[in-house]
Structure 1
């Protein structure tokens, strides 16, 4: 499949897999937009392989998760090296990696997150939670920054890009607590659960509801902190990329804010934000992008160096 067809395939993938990201991606310049789609296509395919899903929907048991992870690594490595795999999302990654010089180490770091899921891993501590969020989402933030023209050596900006990925993933975890529990997964740190008096084997017991809501709100608050850090990093991006990132931050940040406001409704139903609010963020983000925000100190925040050091 040639580049043009891979871009079309990737566009269909993001439109089906994430309306929020699809809408925000249209604010990029055309070259950056196409590369964002290509990268998304690969990320989505890896996530689906790991979770037995179709564009993020319908999680099912993967018969041999270790084999799926090994295949993911093999095809990613081949595509990164310029080989054709015959698998469109992986070939899409090969193109964007070659065009933007995305390090293979970042791709492998992302796959490491899926490997954690494959072995039924659960975080013990808050640090473990952040390490997982780095692998499955912070890495994507870093790769997207490189797609937007940031050097792979610009560690400060990559840290801010990672922060946005962390914010997105913390919101995802907060939204999906009940769905993950049904699938036998839990991303709430065991230390948090113990402190809240929640039995991890009976987490959805109605007796734990108030304590569980408090932990979900804690995730939402953390998502807000990392969203704000990421916003100040957007000042380093070209205008259209800055606009797109600020819109995505607002749109996805609203999910965390809506979860907290719902007071536990996220345990019964999936929380969405309206199309009107998403369009509102596109307008609001345009104004925000005109003025480069003041840099925020992120010394108190978790940093991806800890995940890299522990790898």
Structure 2
């Protein structure tokens, strides 16, 4: 399948093919929901999505998983090296690092604004020292770089039937909706890393603070105030999904089944959390495999229907690279 994708995308250089293949493995290993949805994209567009995911995953792993003994200074140094390599790679269109090589090629091919990568790295640096957010406005500033820009990076790859600037706010909102869903699902794991992404004022409105969350996580017990606060946090995610909704119709038809499938599967995570009584401090919410397969099958049906209706193959949305304004 990797060879088929790379051939369809016209990627022939052996080193570049190996770089994209590496990114695909990262996506398959770590982004199960994302990877499943990506398989519904036209074959030629998948390598670019793997590259974007692979780079984001690599940076995130530096922040969170760079060995159990790595200090903040060591993580910061590794992140700095990655950012320097990225800056050079975006400028030259290539890199000695496989993941950077693939993402630099993708950025050049699709004309992805370099500012999106700059903003992403700024949020990754914040994770090294910021452990909480006083308000949703504060969290939104972080999520612009960590989630909204992912949607904006994806937009040129997916293609649109409306002007990109019209679709952009909805793409950004979907990235935020996905991340808010992850924050809610992973609240216990994030707490173990010393972080609470849920806004402090939202928690406080329900009588919840970090100490109460820590007590619940450590003891396996709960307090009625915690589910109430987490339900309110889920409301933020649902609102972001509603904001993103109009953007689906702005995507090229060939890309819609992928994004619709991803949206459905991520919203299903919220449904599982709700069904489990917001017990995310004690167990991870997982969408059942049978449900995931059913959603993917429905997406595949939409792909097949589109191909039957299409009179000719849809062109790959390629734009000229543009330089960052920064």
Question: TM-score, normalising length from structure 1?
Answer: 0.84
Question: CA, structure 1 residues 139+10, in 2 after alignment: closer, same or farther (shift >3 Å)?
Answer: same
Alignment equivalent of 2:294, drawn from 280, 288, 311: 280
The residue that corresponds to 2:137 in the other structure is: 127
Distance 1:20 1:13 in 2: 13
Q: Which has the larger radius of gyration?
A: 2
Selected match of 1:176 from 181, 186, 191: 186
| Counterpart residue number, 2:7 | none
Which residue of structure 2 lines up, in the alignment, with residue 139 of structure 1? 149
Counterpart position of 1:262: 276
Q: Is the 8 A contact 1:52 1:59 kept in 2?
A: no
- Alignment gaps of 5+ in structure 1: 292-311
Alignment of 1:110-259 (within 5 A): 110-150=120-160, 154-206=164-216, 209-259=223-273
Checking the alignment, whether the CA contact within 8 Å between 1:220 and 1:259 is kept in structure 2 is no
Distance 1:264 1:131 in 2: 26
Separation in 1 of the partners of 2:100 and 2:163?
A: 24
Relative contact order higher in (CA < 8 Å, ≥ 6 apart) = 2
Map Cα deviations across residues 117-171 of structure 1 (whole Å, 9 max, x no partner): 1122421111112222222111101111122134997322111111111111001
Residues in 1 aligned to 2:283 and 2:18: alpha-carbon distance in whole angstroms: 37
Q: Kindly state the Cα deviation for residue 15 of structure 1 after the two structures are TM-superposed.
A: 0.6
TM-score by length of 2: 0.80
Shift of 1:287: 6.9
Whole-Å separation in 1 of the counterparts to 2:289 and 2:150 = 24
CA distance in 2, matches of 1:38, 1:216: 33
- Cα distance in 1 between the residues matched to 2:150 and 2:56: 8
Q: Across the two proteins, how many residue pairs are aligned to each other?
A: 288
Checking the alignment, whether the CA contact within 8 Å between 2:227 and 2:279 is kept in structure 1 is: no
Q: Which runs of 5+ in 2 are unaligned?
A: 1-13, 307-326
